[in-house]
Amino acid sequence: MSDNDSNVHEELTKIRGRLRSLTVAVVLMMLLVVLSFLGQIAELANWFAGDPQLLAAATIGSALLGFGFGWFARRRV
């Protein structure tokens, strides 16, 4: 490997690390927004319709979050 190839490899490694940390930050922010949204929906459902709609909102929200976590955590080959 020449010196130029080594420098390119080092820069690509740095970019990969930065991209990984950026991806984690974006996923965590998305999770925060989704959980805040679901909390607001659950509060509104509890306020206006009572327990049945609250249970439905919590069930749908947890199903969507479970699907989302499974989608991002799936095995990458």
Query: Is the pTM value of this prediction over 0.85?
Result: no
pLDDT in tens, 5-43: 788 889 899 998 888 888 888 888 888 888 788 778 777
Q: Where on the phi/psi map is residue 76: left (φ > 0), alpha (ψ -120 to 50), or beta?
A: beta
Residues in the chain: 77
Termini Cα distance of the chain: 28
CA 44, CA 74: separation in Å to the nearest integer? 33
pLDDT score recorded for residue 50: 67
pLDDT score recorded for residue 44: 76
Contact 26, 45 (CB under 8 A): no
